[in-house]
Chain A
């Protein structure tokens, strides 16, 4: 176990370095640079000579490899530098934006799990065919409606018309409701689809049929046998959901005018604000790596038949059962 974790942490650093380097290269090959963007606005009052001076000031006139090493060393020391458009330290920007995003994504994940869980169980155990059909059509609907549209509709109905919720996000709890539901709905769709399929297939498994044949009711079988076995695919999917949450927070934060990492990313990409983008990439990659490590460590706890060896564990529950 200890060796497994050590090797995974080693891999994690490799992934982070790769993400950092890849994003640096991508930004370096873009046709423009942050200073050109800054001086290009007709109203900026800056001349190309001013641009040269600014490039020198920010070290952007150095060879690309020197810039890369300089930034990388800075990052290793925990120094992410200054934003090129905001004049603020990148650390400060991230520290200001992060709490709001953590709040949003954590509650959205919870909301997504609840919505998906409710949909999945209700559809799987529905006694009415028409109701099941209706419920089955909800996840594809959620998956296909853009987050953006859901957000605008929520605002229109609950804020502008009914006046229940504030539209331009303040920090109150009620301002969190609509964004959380918006993002929650977006992430619930794949979770619900997978849950419904897993529940349906596990219910048909022989061991469940045996339990039912012995006289247990649906509720008992669900709680003691079906539920635990249907969690593994969910866990796997959860790792991917984290990525979706990060991407979804960009749209959600924009629509609801909330502070946060998503919005910071969007405006920084537009201005090619290199230090900020690099820091956000590292942050997102770290979260992704960490969450997937935790999920892999959880597998053996959920299903004792799984043993962790070298690489990431990615085993679907019924596959294990077939092997067993």
Chain B
């Protein structure tokens, strides 16, 4: 496997190594490890955060990884989701009542909350926000928000009470009110059009930080809001944030991110390459791995494509996929081995590892049974057709290419040829959307099992291209169940169905890797690995 590892390493790393050799020194000025010796939180300091992805428009619903590390610091939500338990807790809404039919949510708002432009965050403001999500605003160029799919409107009961109506019950709706992309914006922001709302200077929220400056969407500086006093009640820390400032910078080059961190020029870097993790821990940098709740990183199988319409072929590919090897070879021990369509960290996870075991004999037997016989070149043949499929490297996931290449090796052992293709972003979007393509690598992040309905309901994303009445029934049923235990069983049924029928091929638990300087304390993320800096402080600043 050594040759594979070295092939994955980029020119950049080679250069890093050469640079190190030239100086005869292996690591930069290492900060001393400060495990556990953090002490009492202190106020002040500027934290520098490096992100590999260019910032795009800052519309609140933009889920781009880089954007959504910044946005949550600027906006508060009605509810707060505990990143560990997944429980929904009060935040701007002190409490709420849900009607018996699950169609009406009445939120009782906290008094005295203001947006950073001084206007009050009241029932009227919440209604204005949710109306824009639920109905869109065509005159402003704003489309409906898929997360508010069954939104029927909101009523202002009084200044501190707002009632949200749904057209059909949706057990996942309460969680929607906790996501950063449902962050509450000032009415002045909501009145702006699509382009104007995309400029971060217009993103006025009630969050613990406000914008200080932004330059070409390359560097964004946030400063603390001094009068902030409405953190989620469950937060240990209350009042203003600890940090004076957060500087977000785009640094696309991986070796520059790691080098900057090692030499003490930055505090946190997102998206660390698996092979850099050891290098960093070796020089005293902490690696914080956050499993992303939602779907595991997986292949959706388009059942309209040749060969994979046959369930036996799909099951054979499932059995020929060695997930442990993916983690060992392409990723790092910080990534979880996929055991279902939901990651192990999800409170809704049910273990399907029995059906996801690597079993080459089973894969070969399934293909034999389906009539695929090994041909002269080792690739199976049936009716004169070779069992040859294509896989496109997904531009959204950094380890995608290496993962596909490993899959090609693994499947070849079972006599399946996988041709790995890499194309530019634009071509990818056109090609993989085609029904003739067998696979698309995908991962939706959302800490709510309703995410499975978004993907697999044939009237929503319909990622299999082949409507399946049983699957539709399963994913829709969970949305109407309010009892947690019953709902968990319903979600387990979906997971089992997706795996047992090889509708999907899970690859690995999606994980965000943050490299964090030991001077950073109290850094956390929400359940989908979006940073939260409210409780973060610097032990040296």
**In the complex, chain A residues whose CB is within 8 Å of the CB of B217:** 86, 88
CB distance from A144 to the nearest CB of B (A): 14
Q: Please tell me the size bucket of the interface on B.
A: 35 or more
Contact A255 B256 (CB under 8 A): yes
Residue from B29, B215, B426, B445 in contact with A32 in the complex, judged by beta carbons closer than 8 Å: B426
Distance between Cα atoms of A264 and B252 in the complex (Å): 13
Distance between Cα atoms of A102 and B219 in the complex (Å): 19
Contact A45 B265 (CB under 8 A): no
Distance between Cα atoms of A152 and B10 in the complex (Å): 12
- 9 of the cross-chain contacts (CB-CB < 8 Å) are A32-B427, A50-B143, A50-B146, A53-B138, A86-B56, A153-B15, A156-B16, A167-B260, A257-B250
**In the complex, chain A residues whose CB is within 8 Å of the CB of B48:** 168
* A54 (CB) vs chain B CBs: closest residue: B143
- Enumerate A141-167 residues with CB–CB distance to B below 8 Å: 148-149, 152-153, 155-157, 159-161, 163, 166-167
Residue from A36, A50, A83, A256 in contact with B144 in the complex, judged by beta carbons closer than 8 Å: A50
Contact B215 A160 (CB under 8 A): no
- Enumerate A1-50 residues with CB–CB distance to B below 8 Å: 30-33, 36-37, 40-47, 49-50
Contact A152 B216 (CB under 8 A): no
- Enumerate B164-220 residues with CB–CB distance to A below 8 Å: 181, 194-199, 215-219
Residue from B28, B197, B256 in contact with A87 in the complex, judged by beta carbons closer than 8 Å: B197
In the complex, identify which listed stretch (B18-26, B107-115, B362-370) lies at the interface while the others stay far away.
Answer: B18-26
* A57 (CB) vs chain B CBs: closest residue: B141
**In the complex, chain B residues whose CB is within 8 Å of the CB of A86:** 55-57, 198, 217
Distance between Cα atoms of A264 and B326 in the complex (Å): 35
Contact B426 A37 (CB under 8 A): yes
Contact A159 B259 (CB under 8 A): yes
B140-167 CB mask vs A (1 if < 8 Å, else 0) is 0101111100000000000000000000
Q: State the interface size on chain A (CB cutoff 8 A).
A: 53
Distance between Cα atoms of A30 and B23 in the complex (Å): 46
Contact A42 B263 (CB under 8 A): no
- Enumerate A83-128 residues with CB–CB distance to B below 8 Å: 83, 85-88, 93, 96-97
Contact A36 B430 (CB under 8 A): yes
- Enumerate B303-355 residues with CB–CB distance to A below 8 Å: none
Contact B251 A40 (CB under 8 A): no
Beyond A153-B19, A156-B15, A160-B260, 14 extra complex contacts between A and B, CB < 8 Å: A31-B430, A33-B426, A42-B442, A45-B63, A46-B143, A86-B56, A152-B12, A159-B260, A167-B259, A168-B249, A255-B256, A257-B250, A257-B253, A257-B256
- Enumerate A54-106 residues with CB–CB distance to B below 8 Å: 54, 57, 82-83, 85-88, 93, 96-97
Interface flag for A209 (CB, 8 Å):
no
Interface flag for B255 (CB, 8 Å):
yes
Residue from A82, A153, A257 in contact with B195 in the complex, judged by beta carbons closer than 8 Å: A82
Interface flag for B425 (CB, 8 Å):
yes
Contact B146 A46 (CB under 8 A): yes
**In the complex, chain A residues whose CB is within 8 Å of the CB of B147:** 45
Interface flag for B444 (CB, 8 Å):
yes
Residue from B12, B56, B181, B443 in contact with A85 in the complex, judged by beta carbons closer than 8 Å: B56
* A150 (CB) vs chain B CBs: closest residue: B15
Distance between Cα atoms of A155 and B22 in the complex (Å): 13
CB distance from A88 to the nearest CB of B (A): 6
Interface flag for A263 (CB, 8 Å):
yes
CB distance from A97 to the nearest CB of B (A): 5
Distance between Cα atoms of A100 and B22 in the complex (Å): 31
**In the complex, chain A residues whose CB is within 8 Å of the CB of B196:** 87
Contact A37 B61 (CB under 8 A): no
Q: Known contacts A53-B143, A96-B216; decide if A161 and B428 are in contact (CB<8 Å).
A: no
Distance between Cα atoms of A264 and B217 in the complex (Å): 10
Contact A40 B429 (CB under 8 A): yes
Distance between Cα atoms of A267 and B64 in the complex (Å): 14
Interface flag for A200 (CB, 8 Å):
no
Contact B194 A264 (CB under 8 A): no
**In the complex, chain A residues whose CB is within 8 Å of the CB of B98:** none
Q: Known contacts A53-B138, A161-B28; decide if A87 and B426 are in contact (CB<8 Å).
A: no
B446-461 CB mask vs A (1 if < 8 Å, else 0) is 0000000000000011
A: residues with CB less than 8 A from B are: 30-33, 36-37, 40-47, 49-50, 53-54, 57, 82-83, 85-88, 93, 96-97, 148-149, 152-153, 155-157, 159-161, 163, 166-168, 254-257, 259, 263-264, 267, 270-272
CB distance from A149 to the nearest CB of B (A): 5
Contact A161 B249 (CB under 8 A): no
Interface flag for B43 (CB, 8 Å):
no
**In the complex, chain B residues whose CB is within 8 Å of the CB of A156:** 15-16, 19-20, 255, 259
Contact B143 A87 (CB under 8 A): no
Interface flag for B59 (CB, 8 Å):
yes
Q: Top 8 closest A-B pairs, CB basis?
A: A87-B198, A156-B19, A32-B426, A87-B57, A40-B429, A152-B15, A57-B141, A160-B259
**In the complex, chain B residues whose CB is within 8 Å of the CB of A168:** 48, 50, 249, 251, 256, 260, 265-266
Interface flag for B433 (CB, 8 Å):
yes
CB distance from A270 to the nearest CB of B (A): 6
Contact A157 B429 (CB under 8 A): no
Contact B64 A41 (CB under 8 A): yes
CB distance from A83 to the nearest CB of B (A): 8
Distance between Cα atoms of A256 and B20 in the complex (Å): 18
**In the complex, chain B residues whose CB is within 8 Å of the CB of A85:** 56-57
CB distance from B160 to the nearest CB of A (A): 30
Residue from A36, A163, A166, A264 in contact with B429 in the complex, judged by beta carbons closer than 8 Å: A36
Distance between Cα atoms of A254 and B251 in the complex (Å): 8
**In the complex, chain B residues whose CB is within 8 Å of the CB of A160:** 19, 28, 259-260, 262-263
Interface flag for B11 (CB, 8 Å):
yes
**In the complex, chain A residues whose CB is within 8 Å of the CB of B256:** 152, 155, 167-168, 255-257
Distance between Cα atoms of A140 and B30 in the complex (Å): 38
Contact A264 B253 (CB under 8 A): no
Distance between Cα atoms of A54 and B62 in the complex (Å): 14
Distance between Cα atoms of A53 and B429 in the complex (Å): 18
**In the complex, chain A residues whose CB is within 8 Å of the CB of B138:** 53
Contact B260 A87 (CB under 8 A): no
Contact A152 B253 (CB under 8 A): yes
Q: Known contacts A43-B444, A160-B259; decide if A31 and B19 are in contact (CB<8 Å).
A: no
* B28 (CB) vs chain A CBs: closest residue: A160
Contact A47 B22 (CB under 8 A): no
Interface flag for B532 (CB, 8 Å):
no
Residue from B55, B146, B426 in contact with A30 in the complex, judged by beta carbons closer than 8 Å: B426
**In the complex, chain A residues whose CB is within 8 Å of the CB of B23:** 157, 161
Contact A255 B216 (CB under 8 A): no
Distance between Cα atoms of A263 and B250 in the complex (Å): 11
